[in-house]
Amino acid sequence: MKVTFTDGKEITVLENESLHDAFKRQEVYITASCGGKGTCGKCRVRIVNGDYKCRSYGKISQEDRNRDIVLACQTFAEGDLLVDIPVESRLSVGDKIAISRSKDLIELLKTYQATISPLITKTPLRLPPPTIDDNISDLERLRRELDTREIELRYSKDFVSRMPDDLRKFDWNVTLCYQDDSAEALFLEPAEAKGTRYGISVDIGTTTVVLYLIDMANGDVMDVASTYNSQMRYGDDVITRIVHATEGGGLNDLRKAVVTDINDLISPLTARHEIEPRHIESIVISGNTTMTHLFWGFNPAHIREAPYIPAVNYFPVWKASETGIRTGKNTPVYTVPCVASYVGGDIVSGVIATMMHRNPEISLFMDIGTNGEIVIGNNDWMMTVACSAGPCFEGSGIKYGMRATDGAIESIRIDPETYETEIKVIGETKPLGICGSGMIDAISEMFLAGILDQRGKFVRETASSRIREGEDGTEFVIYHNEKGDIVLTQVDIENIVRAKAAVYAGVSLLLKEVGFTLDMIEKVYIAGGFGNYLNVERAILIGMLPDIPKERFQFRGNTSIAGAYLCLLSKDMRREAEDVASRMTYIELSAKGGFMDEFMSAMFLPHTDMEQFPTVQTLLEKKRS
């Protein structure tokens, strides 16, 4: 039988084969499923046409059932089907690209000359079996051998409890697995334990969670998975979540939400690669300070109140069993260190991923996610600030916003004469929404075409049917579609302008603080959830990025996961991250005057002070003449 997707693609489905399995067999990936067990409820698809039967509907509401929304893993075709995969069930194109990028990460590790050294150290020990004359206890026998190697460890009750039987089962010829930083013995293995060992690095973003599955032997990125951070149901930004955390049980809701997301990402990966979860022996977490606190279940309340103090920046290595992550229970969990309440491990990850702290040239690092964090500096010094951009570039809070995944409009051209649009869609499918880079493109093109004025307001006299009154006010039709046009509304545009203004104000204020001008910046690293496509010229045009020659910009994608990857693989990189965190000087914007002024000045396209954007000024003058 045939399954046709609403974007035109076709695959086959066998009898008694679930849609989920058919998709998987033919490389149509859908997000964060529980591996097809019907429990996670994330593989929702809509059967537009055709006969089918469902084994179970899980938690799908009656209303959705009536609209033929089903769980792909519980649904079987009874003839040809026309199927629509909703945005939220799609695997991000970023995930696919990330795998292709893994070679770069291995190269980066080589550039650092960092050796692969997981969180677990493994030492083979051949112990003399006990005799009547050499009858010290098992633990003392182990310690006697370790003393000769000058290894001093702590032994948990759990370790000691399993040790006597393991020593005898492995015939006194064992591999001791321990955690170096916490100096704790974790478990014993037979001397020649077989099988690959795995690690996972996790980027916990405010909006998305991304996970890499790594082969610890060689650093290969075996697979990638990502999902929206389920904490979103408790609020879009960190402040709302902190508020929720302080309300009865809220902290645990948030902690459980993200841990469940991570488990839901791990489970299909281990199933797909036929890995036992207990063979995942290292975990590294990278996220902003609030996300990191919520992951560990630490009250983030004091992050929000002056003087904005996190519970901890340098996290001890704790165990997976203390987090609820379902891997080996003794699996060590390393947290990329944070700098301050609003500059977290994701930014430290970004710095080590770009190596800006190793080079003498002055660089600017900008991570544009739900929060915008900016770092300036070189191998000698680093200063950093943070500002709240909001989640719009990641697709949230924008009527047709979506993540940079299949179906997202990632670039737009508008004919300044006819106002007709030309779009580019990720995955070359039918457009389903618009992602961050598409939004920047759209605003800049509308501005250039005269559809938007400098304040970001629609110029009502524009002669185009694409500008119209919609249910949410004035809107611009980016894409006409029988099933519903894709539009940007005035409210959307205001959100985007606010977000870009926050980012630029942060850059401005940081430069002022260090007494630098834009021409002194030799390199700008952009990180964030823009997928792989950020048109720098357009971002400068709307005044989000500073007006610096284009060739100085480098787009680096998700540098948080890249840093987590580096720290997962090498102790050298973990020390590097800790060193970077300690070297960054954080400037609390709220403690400085002037942010509001900078922000208000940046609420224009590109800016009230056109002298800061000479190339845009030239372009606009050329256009006018």
Q: Could you list the residues that contact a copy of itself (CB under 8 A)? A: 130-132, 135-140, 154-157, 160-161, 163-165, 168, 182, 296-299, 301-302, 306-314, 316, 318, 322, 338, 340-341, 586, 588, 591
Minimum Å gap between C-beta 527 and a copy of itself is: 24
Minimum Å gap between C-beta 317 and a copy of itself is: 10
Judged by beta carbon, residue 144 or residue 233, the one nearer a copy of itself is 144
Minimum Å gap between C-beta 296 and a copy of itself is: 6
Judged by beta carbon, residue 185 or residue 534, the one nearer a copy of itself is 185
Minimum Å gap between C-beta 313 and a copy of itself is: 4
Minimum Å gap between C-beta 31 and a copy of itself is: 30
Residue 340 per-residue DSSP state: B
The span from the CA of 528 to the CA of 210, in Å, is: 12
Judged by beta carbon, residue 206 or residue 313, the one nearer a copy of itself is 313
Minimum Å gap between C-beta 95 and a copy of itself is: 30
Minimum Å gap between C-beta 354 and a copy of itself is: 25
Instruction: Give buried/exposed letters for 164-192 (b at 16+ CB in 10 A, else e).
Output: eeebeebebebbbbbbbeeebbbbbbeee
Residue type at 613?
Answer: F
Q: What's phi and psi for 413, nearest 5 deg?
A: -120, 140
> Which single residue is written with the structure tokens 């097809």?
36
As given in the structure block, the two tokens for residue 24 are: 């998987």
Judged by beta carbon, residue 113 or residue 131, the one nearer a copy of itself is 131
CB-based burial of residue 61 (10 Å sphere; 0-12 exposed, 13-18 middle, 19+ buried)? Answer: exposed
The dihedral built from the CA positions of residue 82, 229, 437 and 451, taken in this order, carries a sign that is positive
> Which single residue is written with the structure tokens 């650092």?
112
Does residue 378 contact residue 525 with C-beta atoms inside 8 Å?
A: no
Judged by beta carbon, residue 259 or residue 499, the one nearer a copy of itself is 259
Minimum Å gap between C-beta 378 and a copy of itself is: 24
Judged by beta carbon, residue 309 or residue 459, the one nearer a copy of itself is 309
Helix (H, G, I), strand (E, B) or coil at 445: helix
Minimum Å gap between C-beta 257 and a copy of itself is: 18
Judged by beta carbon, residue 137 or residue 418, the one nearer a copy of itself is 137
CB-based burial of residue 445 (10 Å sphere; 0-12 exposed, 13-18 middle, 19+ buried)? Answer: buried
Strand 208-215, strand 198-204: pairing: antiparallel
As given in the structure block, the two tokens for residue 267 are: 């489970």
The span from the CA of 331 to the CA of 375, in Å, is: 33
Judged by beta carbon, residue 332 or residue 390, the one nearer a copy of itself is 332
Would you put residue 372 in left (φ > 0), alpha (ψ -120 to 50) or beta?
beta
Which positions ≥6 away from 92 have C-beta within 8 Å? 31, 226, 403, 404, 405, 406, 531
Minimum Å gap between C-beta 165 and a copy of itself is: 6
* Residue 264: C-alpha distances to residues 283, 296, 336, 462, 468 (Å): 15, 18, 22, 48, 42
Minimum Å gap between C-beta 125 and a copy of itself is: 16
Judged by beta carbon, residue 139 or residue 362, the one nearer a copy of itself is 139
Cβ atoms < 10 Å from Cβ of 365: 26
Picking from 348, 356, 367, 358, the residue whose alpha carbon sits closest to that of residue 521 is 356
Which positions ≥6 away from 161 have C-beta within 8 Å? none
> Which single residue is written with the structure tokens 């720290």?
567
Minimum Å gap between C-beta 259 and a copy of itself is: 13
Helix and strand numbers, DSSP H then E, in the chain: 17, 29
The dihedral built from the CA positions of residue 454, 459, 465 and 467, taken in this order, carries a sign that is positive
Q: How far is Cα of residue 561 from the mean position of the Cα atoms in its chain?
A: 7
Judged by beta carbon, residue 112 or residue 155, the one nearer a copy of itself is 155
Q: What does the angle CA 371 – CA 373 – CA 375 come to, to the nearest 5 degrees? A: 175
Minimum Å gap between C-beta 470 and a copy of itself is: 45
Q: What's phi and psi for 258, nearest 5 deg?
A: -75, -35
Judged by beta carbon, residue 586 or residue 595, the one nearer a copy of itself is 586
Judged by beta carbon, residue 256 or residue 552, the one nearer a copy of itself is 256
Judged by beta carbon, residue 302 or residue 413, the one nearer a copy of itself is 302
